[in-house]
Amino acid sequence: MPVPAVKDDEVLIRVKAAGVDPGAFHRMAGTPYLVRLMGFGFTRPNQPVAGGDVAGVVEKIGANVTRLKVGDEVFGAAEGSFAEFVVAKEGMLARKPANVSWEQAAAVPTSAVTALRGVKVAGPAKKALVIGAAGGVGTFLVQLHEGEVTAVCSGGKADLVRGIGAAHVVDYTKDDLGTGRYDVVYDTYGNRDLKVLRRRLTPNGTLVLLGGRPTGRFVGIGRTVRALLLGPFVRHQIKALFVFPTTQEFDDLGERLANGTLVPVLDRTFPLSEAKQAIDHVMAGRAKGKSVITL
pLDDT at 238 > cutoff 50: yes
pTM for this predicted structure: 0.89
Q: Which of residues 215 and 165 earns the better pLDDT score? A: 165
* pLDDT tens by residue, 3-13: 999 999 999 99
Residues 6+ apart with CB under 8 A from 85: 3, 4, 12, 13, 14, 15, 59
Q: Which of residues 212 and 240 earns the better pLDDT score? A: 240
pLDDT at 226 > cutoff 80: no
pLDDT at 129 > cutoff 90: yes
Determine what percent of the chain is predicted with pLDDT higher than 70: 88
Provide mean pLDDT across the span 275-290: 87
Neighbours of 224 (CB within 10 A): 20
The pLDDT value recorded for residue 213 is: 58
Min mean pLDDT across 150-159, 206-215, 250-259, 265-274 is at 206-215
Cα distance between residue 231 and residue 190, in whole Å: 17
Q: Which of residues 97 and 35 earns the better pLDDT score? A: 97
* pLDDT tens by residue, 59-92: 999 999 999 999 999 999 999 999 999 999 999 9
Cα distance between residue 238 and residue 241, in whole Å: 10
